[in-house]
Every structure is written in structure tokens, then in C-alpha cells.
Amino acid sequence: MSASALDIEAFILIGGKSSRFGSDKAFAAFGPETLAARAVRTVKVGLSPLRTALVVSRGDQFTSQTLDSLGCSVVIDRRPGLGAWSGIDAAITNAQSEWVLVLACDLPFVSVGFLRLLADRMNDEFDAVVSLQPDGRLQPLCALYRVRPAQIALATFLKNPNLLPPVSAVFEKLRTFIVVAEEYNELANAENLFLNINTHADLTAATELEYHQSSDT
């Protein structure tokens, strides 16, 4: 069942600590736009969600003018300091739809085609759709969650915030459809889908990749 047949909102995580980057990376330039703007554009084109919201750590993390430039609503972490758990919790808590997409803004090569592939796997038999990266890890920050079951699963983990496992453990509590590499390998630039921007060196390398890909088309 495609995303168009279901209620879906998108939540883009832009409020991480960016400790290795040294500043808020969400508004770092990536070609002609910022990482955050690229994520917003990709989500809106790929899924046409009922709402696209930005998840920030604090109300004063960014200026209102900066956030307004992205044309999205804004939600704030209820549990700052818990990393990705905080972002997913904020998305699920603020959702008004049956399903949500959670996407980290520092995955710039997540594409329109890839988001549509994930959405095509949504159906009543599952509570989450997540991809398996080539390194064998699930990617919870580019995944679809059915809101009510996800609320229950998150509550189970967040009862003990000092003992949180890796956030991918949430899928152990959900009926999860796992999208394996064979399903996305034919997409353009599939080898870079999960390239993550953590440092300025990562951003430079990703920018060079983007430039070469643009030059080849």
C-alpha cells in the first residue's frame, strides 16, 4: 500500500548535538541548499506528507527566521539528551496521523525514490518499515513508524532512560518490515544512500560526490 493511501506525516530531525561537527550541521551548506532544506525538499517531493515538521532539541536552538525559511512546523524534544531516542519520541508524541516518517537531516543521499520504496512497503500487517544498511545495521533515522504501536514500544524503553540500548532495538517491539539491499540496489546512487554527515570532512566528501554525480548527468 502506498503512502498516498495512508495518513502520514514527516518529522525531520535537525536538533542533534553535532558534537563532532562543531556547530549545528542542519544549516551547513550542501551545494545550493542546506542539509535541512535538502531533507525537507526530498520528503515533500517523495511523500507529499500531510505535514512536514522539524524536530529541535530546544526552543532557542535556532532563530525563528531560520526555521521559518524551511516552511515547516516545529516540535521540541520532550526528553533532550537522549539522542535519537529523543527525536523519535518527539515525532511520535506530536503525530496526528496513523504513520510517520522519521528522517535525520544528515543523510543527504536519501532520495525521493528511496522514500517511495519504503512507503510502498507500508501495510496493515506491519508497524514499522526500516532498511537494512549494507553494513548489516538497521537505520532507524530513515524509517516509517505506525504511531500507536510505536508509542507503546517507546514507553517501554523510556521508562529506564539511563539504560537505553541502541535505538534500533525499538524494532524488536514492533512488527517490522525490513527492506534489504536487494530491494534498493537498483536505485540511483544506492551505494551512498546511508552516507552520514558527522564531520566537516564528511561534508566535504559528500559535496564532492554530489558534484561529480551532477556533472555526470
- Predicted TM-score (pTM) of this structure: 0.92
Band (58; pLDDT cuts 50, 70, 90): confident
pLDDT at 21: 76
Q: CA-CA distance, 90 to 163, in Å (whole number)?
A: 19
pLDDT at 60: 83
C-alpha cell at 76: 521540541
How does the average pLDDT of the chain come out, rounded? 91
| Domain covering 3-216: architecture | Alpha-Beta Complex (3.90)
Band (212; pLDDT cuts 50, 70, 90): confident
Average pLDDT over residues 107-120: 96
By mean pLDDT, which of 52-56, 58-62, 84-88, 138-142 is the weakest? 58-62
Q: Does pLDDT of 112 surpass 80? A: yes
pLDDT digits (tens, 9 = 90+) for 117-155: 999 999 999 999 999 999 999 999 999 999 999 999 999
Rounded to 5 degrees, φ, ψ at 63 are -70, 155
pLDDT digits (tens, 9 = 90+) for 82-105: 989 999 999 999 999 999 999 999
Considering the chain, what percentage of its residues have pLDDT values greater than 90? 77
Q: Does pLDDT of 160 surpass 70? A: yes
